Every structure is written in structure tokens, then in C-alpha cells.
Amino acid sequence: MSIQTFTKMNIPTLKQISSKNFDEVIRLDPGSEHMTPNLKSIIEFINMDRKMTFADAVYIENKIIGFVMVDCENDKLKIRRFMIDKNYQSLGHGRCTMDVLLRKAFSIFDKYKEIYVTTRSDKAKDFYKKSGFCISYSTCNSGELPEYVLVLTKQSWWLDSVD
């Protein structure tokens, strides 16, 4: 589903997480016990020693419905966190937000030709696959959930987004 299928008023916007929206962002509920708490994610992100990063709240009109974090790790572009509040899941907001996020990431970090994400959640893995990501590999330590590494190339995303 590309951004063109949404009406203008439903297109999510990304705005930097700041003191103005911080409290609302940390109160968002992903509805999953497997996800790192929002506050911990934001603090870890702030403390990262990386220059090319962004952490944005996701807005629909004037309501925060989620947040995203992207950074460069080992010279690779990575979605560090992608979260839509449980009350706004399964409504198409995630897919449209992903499109907006990829547009921003690939335009800011133009030199990168792919973006990747890791997850232990089957629901998240399925979401990323529906968004065009492919499983690059997975690992599993005994007693733990498998961790999937998914990759999306700029070229495949661009070709899919203009359909």
C-alpha cells in the first residue's frame, strides 16, 4: 500500500521528539510485552554516539499515534524502533507511516542503498515483510525467541512505491 492510497488528512507526519511531545510519546502503548519500554528506547537513543540519526513522533492530524527511530550502525541504515500505539494498529497507519519513514530516511541518508531492522516478534516480522522487507537471516540462541534481520533495498522500495 503506497502513500497515494490515503487521503491527505490521514497521511502521517513525522516530527522530532522534543520536550513538547516527550511525555505523550512515552505514554504510548505498543500492546506487546516483547517491546522495550518507550522511555528506555528514547534514553538509549539519546545516549548513542552517532551523528546521523532521527527520533520522531508519528502524528495523524494533531494526535501522536506512535514513534520511530532511525540511525546508522556499522555504516548501515537501521530502523531502531517503529511503534504504533495499540489503539491505532490494524488501521493502515503502520504501512503508511513506514512509507513516510522510508522517504525521509532515504532522502536524508542518500548514500545508503538499503535499510534494515531486527525483531523477535513474528507479528512485527510479518508487518515488515508486507512492507517490502526480506528476511536476510535469523539467529536463535537456546531458550530465546528467534531474532530476524530484515532488509529493504532503496531500489525495490522505490519501484514498489510508484506502482
Predicted TM-score (pTM) of this structure: 0.83
Q: Which residues, other chains included, contact 141 with Cβ-Cβ below 8 Å and sequence gap of 6+?
A: none
DSSP string, 80-141: EEEEE-GGGTTSSHHHHHHHHHHHHHHHHTTT--EEEEEES-HHHHHHHHHTT-EEEEEE--
List the domain boundaries for the chain. Answer: 3-161
Answer yes or no: is pLDDT of 88 > 70. yes
25 pLDDT higher than 70: yes
> What are 53-67's pLDDT values in tens digits?
889 999 998 999 999
Q: What is the pLDDT of residues 125-152, one digit of tens each?
A: 999 999 999 999 888 877 777 889 999 9
Average pLDDT over residues 28-44: 80
Residue 34: pLDDT above 50?
yes
User: What is the percent of the chain with per-residue pLDDT over 90, rounded to a whole number?
Assistant: 47
Q: Does domain 3-161 have CATH number 3.40.630.30?
A: yes
Q: How confident is the model at residue 102 (pLDDT cuts 50, 70, 90)?
A: very high
Whole-number Å distance between alpha carbons of 99 and 61? 17
Q: Is the pLDDT of residue 2 over 50?
A: no
Residue 49 has pLDDT above 70, yes or no: no
